[in-house]
Chains A and B, each alone.
Chain A
Amino acid sequence: MQMGTARIVFDRWDGRYAQRMRDVRSSATRDLFAAASRPDIISFAGGMPEISLVPTDAAANAAADAIRKHGLEALQYGSSEGRPQLRETIVELMAEIGVRAKRDDIIVTAGAQQALDLLAKIFLDPGDVIITEGPTYLGALQAFSAYQPRIICIPMDEEGMDTDALAAELTQLGPRGAKFIYTIPNFQNPGGVTMSAERRRRLLDLAREYDIPVIEDDPYGRLRFEGGHMRPLRALDEEVIYLGTFSKIFAPGLRLGWVMAPRPILGKVLLAKQAADLCGSAYSQITAEEYFSGTRWRKVLQDLTRTYAERRDVMLEALEEYFPAEAEWTVPEGGFFVWVRMPAFLDLKALLPEAIERGVTYVAGDAFYPDGHTGRNCMRLAFCYARPDDIREGIQRLAEVLEDRLELYRAFQAAGALPGAPVAKGVVA
């Protein structure tokens, strides 16, 4: 029998890294995950697309055509802004969601993630203020943190970012008091909520009033299960910086995303992009062009969306059935995530080792806040990747873990020892 080893290999360069890397270090919880990658664990942790629904023959044809038909371009360096043909494809995709743009308003990036890094690089000096939703996308926090900003989080409710709270914060900060406002208006990661039309308007008005750029990150926008289409911020205001991705509508393996921004900003992004990687992969870009040249991708996107919708339904049903009465969760109209909030002072980060022991994982809420403390009574559950049966089983296991801890909470409640609801109903975190 082949046994592993417990031997550890150290980083012998530790202590020689730049100060800024301290802030982007992985958390103890994430190390804990790594230590516990058991096959029997049902994971609600990662937001991975169900890539098995993308027909391999379609992907194979697109990839083969990229080499067979366009080999000399596919294997060569390309332009830093990305291939004109793919940017045309993006223009069409954007038109479908109500955004009018030209090819030259777009730069293709290595996933939207690279755009986050490049934008942070061109805008941020250490100590600069930026505004995000709280909680917000972990990858954005990682990208931004490397440039050492001070991150202010604006809470959300079922209508997305609380624009009154934003207004109050901006009053404090004053005009140009922040370098940018970062938002994920559709099926927010991790909150699962969607910003209402009214809030979108208000956000843009405030941004105009205080002269602060808005970054709209929209990876999940096309994965809507129900409800009407919401106009992107970029459709309402041409100065909005819009980030899109092929990761959810085709495949994350291609590492293709884009940034759409006013030309002067785009010029700076281009310089930063050249410094970062000269140019993106022409091979990936042509593969995407080929894939999106037909109509089959629309059917695939429908399949993906339907599958995610089913899984969301299964998760919501399981939550209703198994989760304790004290739990509250958001009901996403699309995307990948449900955000669960437990009573204050239940520490879900401390509970994670027990959950792993019982064969289920999640991401504790503090990962989505820059301070690493807020959100400990919350968790993000990804419904996108687990199979329906596993979702039911995983939620049941998780409920048992929570139930055990809640017994204690209830004992305090029954004795009248705890104040009533510590957070107003409807607040995400």
Chain B
Amino acid sequence: MKEKIAVLMGGRSLEREVSLRSGQRVADALGERGYRVLPLDVTAELVNTLRSERPDAAYIALHGKYGEDGTIQELLEFLGIPYTGPGVVASALAWDKSVSKRLFRDNGIPTPAWVTFTADAFKEMGAATALDLIPEAVGGFPLVVKPAEQGSALGLTRVEAADGLAEALLSALSFGPSAIVERWVDGAELAVSVLDIGDGPHVLPPVEMVAKSGLFDFSAMYTPGETDYYVPARLTPEVEAEVRRLAEEVHVLLGCRHVSRVDMVVAQDGTPYVLECNTSPGMTETSLLPMAAEAIGIGFQELVEKLARAALDGLE
């Protein structure tokens, strides 16, 4: 029998259901590959169970708060359990888009113009009186409002005109303490995954998403049939090369290891913009990382095993 791997999933985030779907597929794959699998929900009993079961590694199939913001990573390091995916700092940087976008901008990585607001800025400092300045700051409408902290596009609204801005901010701030308002870039939406397991980052084929509703939101993301996917993305060789270069740069800049998924949009003039970096990419049946891996002949089980081995073998 191979090593014992705890698959961490669920938790009390709003992405619980998605995480359970990811986790179950991961657990099945590891089981098929002969590992002893310990599927664990993130509850108050987690630490106790980890201590008594002593897994050789943890596969993080958590999405959203605690799973992607560095919390679980910090805890696993404390318990001495190696885990899959980026470490504490990379997770924390990628989690907060207001931070990662600043890093992108300061390092010459194109990202759509944006402004960030915390709920406190509205509550304590009267920031709502400055909403009229936003369109100019980000380059006009349409624009997109979303929670600054990473998630499955929950609380995301596309805003067409000034009168929708306040409501969109309220909606985004229902999901976290800060929100970003970002220029809407019309173009092809891409997910570019990076595998980095011991021999440096390898960029997987970009996946292009076309939501039938026009907005790649939570429901488009997780409902089969609501989105069309193109693998590889329909890009010119030059643009594809640039997209791949940017994905690798983001991965390295944030200090990611094992895996990351960089989401971008390629404007109609061919300029790619980086939107965000995900450190715990979805592993459901409609998820983008498995799709990209499949495109170069890495099946789901193999992908999962590679990531698990990266943790087990201590690959940084």
Residues of A in contact with B (beta carbons under 8 Å apart): 3-10, 14, 28, 31-32, 35-36, 344-347, 350-351, 353, 356, 405, 407-409, 411-412, 414-415, 417-419
Contacts and interface: CB of A to CB of B under 8 A. Distances in A.
Interface in B153-194: 154-155, 163, 165-167, 169-171, 173-175
B151 to A, nearest CB: 11
B14 A411 contact: no
B24 interface: yes
Interface string B80-117: 00000000000000000000000000000000000000
B40 interface: yes
Given A7-B41, A408-B173, 11 more contacts: A5-B49, A7-B39, A8-B23, A32-B14, A35-B11, A35-B41, A345-B174, A353-B12, A411-B127, A412-B128, A412-B170
B166 A412 contact: yes
Given A6-B42, A408-B123, A344 B167 contact: yes
Contact of A407 (B12, B45, B46, B123): B123
Contacts of A10: 24, 27-28, 39
A417 B12 contact: no
B119 interface: yes
22 contacts: A6-B45, A6-B48, A7-B40, A8-B20, A8-B39, A10-B27, A28-B15, A28-B17, A31-B17, A32-B12, A32-B14, A353-B12, A353-B13, A353-B14, A408-B122, A408-B173, A411-B126, A412-B170, A415-B126, A417-B129, A418-B166, A418-B167
Please report whether the interface of chain A is mostly helix, strand, loop or mixed according to DSSP.
loop
Nearest to A31: B16
A7 B167 contact: no
Nearest to B122: A411
Contacts of A35: 10-12, 16, 41, 43
Contacts of B24: 10, 14
Contact of A417 (B17, B39, B123, B165): B165
A415 B43 contact: no
Contacts of B43: 4, 6, 35
Contacts of B119: 408
A402 to B, nearest CB: 12
A347 B40 contact: no
Interface residues of B, number: 46
A344 B170 CA distance: 9
Contacts, number: 106
B274 interface: no
Contact of A415 (B28, B40, B131): B131
Contacts of B169: 412
B48 A417 contact: no
B283 interface: no
Residue in A31, A405, A415, A418 whose Cβ sees the most chain B Cβ within 10 Å: A415
Nearest to A410: B123
Interface in B264-296: none
A195 to B, nearest CB: 32
B83 to A, nearest CB: 15
A72 B153 CA distance: 61
Given A32-B16, A412-B169, A8 B126 contact: no
B30 interface: no
B39 A345 contact: no
A371 to B, nearest CB: 10
A31 B13 CA distance: 10
Contacts of B14: 28, 32, 350, 353
Given A411-B122, A411-B123, A419-B163, A7 B171 contact: no
B41 A8 contact: yes
